Amino acid sequence: EVEKSKRTILASNRLKTTKYTALSFLPKNLFEQFHRLANVYFVFIALLNFVPAVNAFQPELALAPVLFILAVTAIKDLWEDYSRYLSDKEINHMECLVYSRHEKKYISRYWKEVKVGDFVQLRCNEIIPADILLLSSSDPDGLCHIETANLDGETNLKQRQVVRRFLELDSEFDPLKFTSVIECEKPNNDLSRFRGYIVHKSGKKDGLFKENLLLRGCTIRNTEEVAGIVIYAGHETKALLNNNGPRYKRSKLERQMNADVLWCVLILLIMCLFSAIGHGLWVWQYGEKKKPIFDVPGPDGKYLSPVLASVYLFLTVIIVFQVMIPISLYVSIEIVKICQVYFIHQDKDLYDEETDSQLQCRALNITEDLGQVQFIFSDKTGTLTENKMVFRRCTVSGIEYSHDDNAKRLAMYQEPDSEEDEAAPKGGTLSQRDSICSHQSIKVIHRSQSTKTHRRTGSRAEAKRASILSKHTAFSSPMEKDITPDPSLLEKVNECAKHLEVMRSHEQPLSHLSPELCDVFDFFIALTICNTVVVTAPNQPRQKVRDRFELKSPVKTIEDFIRRFTPSRLTSGSNSSSSSSLATSKSMNRFGLSVLSSTSTDSTLLKLEEKLAYSAQMNNNGYSSQQGRTAVGSGPEEGELRYEAESPDEAALVYAARAYNCSLVGRLSDQVSVELPHLGTLSFEVLHTLGFDSVRKRMSVVVRHPLTDEINVYTKGADSVIMDLLLPCSSDDPRGKHQKKIQSKTQNYLNLYAVDGLRTLCIAKRVLSKEEYACWLKSHLEAESSIENREELLFQSALRIEKNLHLLGATGIEDRLQDGVPETIANLRKAGLQIWVLTGDKQETAVNIAYACKLLDHDEEIITLNAESPETCAVLLEQCLQCVESKFSNNTIDEATGNMAVGFTPLYPPSSSVLSSLGLVIDGRTLAYALEPTLEDKFLALAKRCRSVLCCRATPLQKSMVVKLVRDKLKAMTLAIGDGANDVSMIQVADVGVGISGQEGMQAVMASDFAIPRFRHLEKLLLVHGHWCYSRLANMVLYFFYKNAVSV
């Protein structure tokens, strides 16, 4: 039984995307065509020509052109609708297995016959016919892998999990015994969220999450057989609710052209009015007694009165002067735009050999807008950088480990120095030198000191070769995988393992370690298990506990037909909260916790509990007696473990832990296995996983420790939030003083990492008592069972457990610049474009990367805004505006371009003849204050005077708000470019959205107007193709207007 918001009529699964029927085609199509005012105008002119008193041409001939245009458009629409009809028919007549209560077995039925509440059975490589709640799987852990390429463009496999309690069934799932009641939210188009609960016969209630839902249009992979109940059918499925059709935008030139057409109509009316008045005066001067020259009397032999003659002539000259409005202009523009898109696609310079991808034009109507862009808003990670994370340094328990040998290894991947070093910040501030501002939060920094240049990963040929050699891994380059450990830290890890081996028979073995060694042990455990990384061995088939099966060979599907109704973009990519990822898993219910991310849909999976030779008997402490280690070399050798992660950061940390012999060797729905030297395999019972989201900026796992049987919370996240969640330290307590000292040292090392341009993460831990966990668990289960405000309740539940943390350490990960980024930014700025970078990274890291990529130059004056309250932000903005206006009062303003030339000489002379300019750096908290209605005008007034703007710690919502502010207030043409789901809102708000097909999936590409492989391709797309498209189209429009004006 399914209850859905008290609706008695449930949607049919029949797909109907056609617009017309045999009877409604003609009237409906004509009604649609007459929505174009141009068609109404030309039909009016043709009908006017049928009036004998005013006709200027043969009526039948005057009607021919407009009928031809209407007929051609109607035939085109009819053909498109007939194609949709054939596609609908093919999809509706696909077959699937539906349970028949009458025959008590699964029988074959058409997709169109599937209804809400039906039980459906699917096999490997079959396409899912409706949104189905997963109730049974042939996988012993209740897992099901699906491919969502038809839905969101991502080719990696996703993992879905059988609903709780149904996984615990001893016998096979029987639909006749299903007596539970399902209640779920109304149909919506949010692909990242599903809320509901299921009430069992016993009265117990379990929450339902997106991990339990199989979406229509996806394909079952690597799972022999699954079964479930239909929740949403037909046009209520998420796939069809996301089907908004192709993107349509009106370009700035088209809007201007429509205004010009209206001016032409006005000119036409004025010309006709003057002609009519002149004719009336001509007739009037002869009076009634004289015979007007060149005038023809009526049938009764009388001449028309001057007024009536003027009216008739007015209508006649409208017919004569109708060519003032070009009837063929719109058709010609469509043809030209198609040709322009073709030429852009044929440009070999916009093809990336490494990724084997080229530019995609997803919006055909705005190619000319590329040549009118004034502001570029760019993400940093994955857009300006490679998003291939390389572990560089770490600090544990207040001690820093520089990993010098690892730095030397990475230097081998660097290219020889071919460019001058980038500039680094100098400590002095302009406020100190020139007394511009007195507030210490305003820093105007002048760069003159050299710093290390961020170079690209190395030879592209080498990267491509490595990618081909191990194409199944998420991170194939040895540079990311092979890490040289720091000798002193490795020695401490081994010492810790030896002590634990000796003390493992004790009740609390960790209590016998020193505080430093305890932190080292927990630090690497957190790196290994606080993630959603999936372990695979691509050369091995997936093993089953119950019975072994062989995957069927791929069958022929109609995915091409499915693509006809899959979305062309994600409309809710980052608008929906990620809090739904807080949906957790309890081990007693064996609820799945991780999502498989694979670069190959053909690779099979390995269940590691058998292939890694786990001990047949696990002792009470949860570790095995096995001492042998599985080979984990860097090459694609037999038995090698492969880590597939949702984000490059997670994989980099797991590879780093593996370098210290702390290896992630297995992950099941309710446990994660870690192999340590001298200890063998430790199996942690996973109780809950609190996923990362952009608001909390952290993730946590709640596990039962195998050595102590304690409930531990391991948390990793941004230092800006983790440091605020630490347990307060008392200055009177020696232990508290020691912890305070460790926190202070760690913060100093984090600042040093950020100055070096490294991405920083803090690692922390909390031990929960049984009472604390029981109290938290009760409220958390209630949050999971909620429907209306589940995300908010889960968010608050995570906040309750992620507090009073103990700091373990921090990591520094390098994300290198993409090839050609500095040159591209420099050329775009030379062309007069203003570039804003909106990033979620901390301020120091973002500033360092900004200098490396030439966003900020060493001859620029940098204003840095950091405010703790709205009042402080208002004061800072006011002071900055006054300082800029007073100090730069002798600047010259170019009214045509808006560029400002600074008229004073900085303390340190610039390296070029170009006068110094301004740059603005603002953090996320201050940006939130600056975007308030009372301050946004001041913020914009300051920002528009800056050549570059860098917004740090920005959330996805703030990114879109900044773009919207500039677009609406400055009336400027904006372009947003990004590569991840957190950039979707920004891309959709901008006039032109550009997505980069990178490491973070295809959400940004699906939401964009144009998709490019690399950031460097933006230069030619804008400065060459954008200029050509605008120039050619504008000249063509002018030609049509002038040609027709001459004809008149």
Residue 595 DSSP one-character state? -
Q: Was 141 annotated as part of a binding site?
A: no
CA angle 903, 906, 907 (to 5 degrees): 155
Name the β-bridge partners of 409: none
Q: Was 983 annotated as part of a binding site?
A: yes
Residue 931 DSSP one-character state? T
Strands 663-667 and 360-361: unpaired
Helices (H), 859-923: 870-887
Q: Was 840 annotated as part of a binding site?
A: yes
316's tokens = 């006649």
Burial (CB count within 10 angstroms: exposed 0-12, middle 13-18, buried 19+), residue 1013: buried
Q: Was 260 annotated as part of a binding site?
A: no
Q: Was 381 annotated as part of a binding site?
A: yes
Closest CA to 785 of 51, 46, 7, 205: 205
CB atoms within 10 A of CB 97: 19
Strands 119-123 and 225-232: antiparallel
Q: Was 152 annotated as part of a binding site?
A: no
Q: Was 692 annotated as part of a binding site?
A: yes
Do residues 828 and 853 lie in contact, with contact meaning Cβ atoms separated by under 8 Å?
Answer: no
Cα within 13 Å of Cα(663), Cβ side: 26
Residue 957's contacts (CB-CB under 8 Å, 6 or more residues apart) are 985
Residue 663's contacts (CB-CB under 8 Å, 6 or more residues apart) are 528, 629, 630, 632, 641, 657, 674, 675
Q: Was 650 annotated as part of a binding site?
A: yes
- How do the residues of the chain divide into helix, strand and coil, expressed in percent and rounded to 5? 40, 20, 40
Residue 883's contacts (CB-CB under 8 Å, 6 or more residues apart) are 436, 437, 442
Which position has the token pair 């290896």?
663
Q: Was 443 annotated as part of a binding site?
A: no
Q: Was 982 annotated as part of a binding site?
A: yes
377's tokens = 């808003």
CA dist 653 and 808 (Å) reads: 15
Residue 626 DSSP one-character state? -
Residue 1024 DSSP one-character state? I
The reply to whether 991 belongs to the active site is no
Helix/strand/coil for 850: helix
**Which is catalytic among the residues 379, 719, 857, 1009?**
379
Closest CA to 553 of 226, 221, 225, 122: 221
455's tokens = 């170079």
The angle, 0 to 180 degrees and rounded to 10, between the axes of the packed helices 1027-1047 and 329-345 is 160
The angle, 0 to 180 degrees and rounded to 10, between the axes of the packed helices 252-284 and 306-320 is 150
User: In the sheet that 399-401 helps form, which strands lie side by side, from edge to edge?
Assistant: 399-401, 385-396, 806-817, 758-768, 711-717, 698-704, 680-690, 671-676, 663-667
Q: Was 841 annotated as part of a binding site?
A: yes
Helix/strand/coil for 979: coil
Strands 443-451 and 131-137: unpaired
Which amino acid, residue 182? Answer: I
Strands 711-717 and 698-704: antiparallel
Do residues 67 and 75 lie in contact, with contact meaning Cβ atoms separated by under 8 Å?
Answer: no
CA dist 1038 and 336 (Å) reads: 14
Residue 587 DSSP one-character state? G
Q: Was 724 annotated as part of a binding site?
A: no
Q: Was 839 annotated as part of a binding site?
A: yes
Ramachandran area for residue 382 (φ above 0: left; ψ -120 to 50: alpha; else beta): left
Q: What is the 3-class SS of 549-586, one letter each residue?
A: CCCCCCCCCCHHHHCCCCCCCCCCCCCCCHHHHHCCCC
Name the β-bridge partners of 37: none
Active site residue ranges: 379
Cite the annotated binding site by residue number. Answer: 379-381, 650, 692, 716, 759, 839-841, 953, 959, 979, 982-983
Cite the annotated binding site for Mg(2+) by residue number. Answer: 379, 381, 979, 983
Cite the annotated binding site for ATP by residue number. Answer: 379-381, 650, 692, 716, 759, 839-841, 953, 959, 982-983
